[in-house]
Structure 1
Amino acid sequence: MKLSTTLKAVAAIVVLLVIFAVAAMNYHNKAVSMDEKVNAAWSQVLNQYKRRADLIPNLVNTVKGYAKHEKEVLTQVTEARAKVGKMEISPKILENPKAFAMFEKSQSELSSALSRLMMVVERYPNLKADKNFLALQSQLEGTENRIAVARRDYIEAVRAYNTLLRRFPAAFFLRITDPELRPKPTFTISEKESQTPEVSF
């Protein structure tokens, strides 16, 4: 009788351990998959930013031919692109909120410089009609759209991953199986970007 009770207790413990192990493995695998999805989405963001950076020299040179007096704006774009190009972007950037914020800031500065460049273009009708410029402008607009989509996909992948890390019971199991996992940073909108633009007639 005692042996039967002991066997039942051992069997119950084994069943609980198996259930615990299966749940831990499930959440570990889910976290790994989501982490890889975040990394893939981040790679796509970097890919689109690189595409934009590669277009800029041709765009600046085309504008330079028409807008020689706009040296300040052309210099700002060139300097912003150079600053972005100098940044070392390691896979660990997603684990370093300060490095991520610096990356985001430099990309925002480049976006602002490009916006100023496009405003300058409005003053030069011949430039706006130039086939090379129109092709570059179209490529840049397409790239900006791709950047927006890549950022959106990254933000969604990070949201799902960070949520998994915080929700129970996943949080409990992941603290045991993967204590090194940390929430990933996401993009933010600066106060300047969130302001409604003024329209005057």
Structure 2
Amino acid sequence: MELWVLVAAVVIVALYGVSVYNRLVGQKARVEEAWSDIQVQMKRRYDLVPNLVETVKGYAGHERGTLEAVVAARNAAASANGGPEAQAAAERTFLGALGKVIALAEAYPDLKANQNFLALQQSLEEIEAHINGARRFYNGSVRDLNVSIRTFPPMLIARAFGFQEAQFFELDDSEREAASQPVKVSFS
């Protein structure tokens, strides 16, 4: 009878280990899927920027420095790799430049009333909402995975199979807010 109890205990521990492993694999897959969703939404936004810049160029062509800055920041953000931390740094620069282009509309009433510009701005706002939702889902998935990896006894299985904590995708809200402030428009 003692052998039976020992075998049952080993089987229970093994089943628990398999269950924890499978949960960790699922959580890691959700993190990867959520990161992919963020990248898809950011690509949609990056693809919209050239149209936005061309529309603004027609009304505020002499704001060349601002327009070139947003294109350069877009290209840098679109080609950023290295995970959420590197992407977040590129996004901060991009959002700052993009905010300056959007702020130009305040200085140009004709641009502000242009239907093409308004449609592009609406599309950009929708994409931003999708990015924020995807970012919240990603960060929630990262939180769940990281909690599982740090919790005992699942941490033993996570360490044994090499599961690593994932990075959060965080944008500094103060930088985003500063990027949305109106820019000085110079006609010189």
The answer to whether the superposition gives a TM-score over 0.5 is: yes
Match of 1:162 in 2: 146
Work out the percentage of aligned pairs sharing the same amino acid. 35
Describe the superposition over 1:3-43 as per-residue Cα deviations: whole angstroms up to 9, x where unpaired. Answer: xxxxx332222111101110001101111111111111111
Structure 1 residue 107: deviation in Å?
Answer: 1.3
Report the Cα distance in structure 1 between the residues aligned to 2:178 and 2:102, rounded to whole angstroms: 19
Residue pair 2:96, 2:176 contacting (<8 A) in 1 also: no
Q: Select the residue among 1, 15, 18 that pairs with 1:22.
A: 15
Give 1:167-178 correspondences, 5 Å limit. Answer: 167-176=151-160, 178=161
Match of 1:182 in 2: 164
Give 1:84-163 correspondences, 5 Å limit. Answer: 84-87=77-80, 89=81, 93=82, 99-163=83-147
Match of 2:67 in 1: 74
Match of 1:96 in 2: none
Describe the superposition over 1:62-110 as per-residue Cα deviations: whole angstroms up to 9, x where unpaired. Answer: 00000012111101101001112333x4xxx4xxxxx432221111111
Structure having the higher Rg: 1
Task: List alignment gaps of at least 5 residues for structure 1.
Answer: 1-7, 94-98
Residue pair 2:70, 2:98 contacting (<8 A) in 1 also: yes
Report the Cα distance in structure 1 between the residues aligned to 2:28 and 2:119, rounded to whole angstroms: 37
Report the Cα distance in structure 1 between the residues aligned to 2:52 and 2:96, rounded to whole angstroms: 15
Report the Cα distance in structure 1 between the residues aligned to 2:130 and 2:84, rounded to whole angstroms: 20
Q: Select the residue among 19, 26, 34 that pairs with 2:27.
A: 34
- Give the structure-2-normalised TM-score: 0.88
Report the Cα distance in structure 2 between the residues aligned to 1:52 and 1:27, rounded to whole angstroms: 38
Report the Cα distance in structure 2 between the residues aligned to 1:195 and 1:111, rounded to whole angstroms: 10
Q: Mean alpha-carbon deviation: is it higher for 184-193 or for 125-134?
A: 184-193
Report the Cα distance in structure 2 between the residues aligned to 1:168 and 1:143, rounded to whole angstroms: 39
- Give the structure-1-normalised TM-score: 0.83
Describe the superposition over 1:132-164 as per-residue Cα deviations: whole angstroms up to 9, x where unpaired. Answer: 111101000111111111101100010011101
Report the Cα distance in structure 2 between the residues aligned to 1:174 and 1:181, rounded to whole angstroms: 5
Residue pair 2:92, 2:171 contacting (<8 A) in 1 also: no
RMSD: 2.0
Residue pair 1:23, 1:173 contacting (<8 A) in 2 also: no
Report the Cα distance in structure 2 between the residues aligned to 1:139 and 1:117, rounded to whole angstroms: 15
Report the Cα distance in structure 2 between the residues aligned to 1:195 and 1:84, rounded to whole angstroms: 19
What secondary structure does 2:107 align onto?
A: coil
Task: List alignment gaps of at least 5 residues for structure 2.
Answer: 182-188
Residue pair 1:48, 1:143 contacting (<8 A) in 2 also: yes
Match of 1:47 in 2: 40
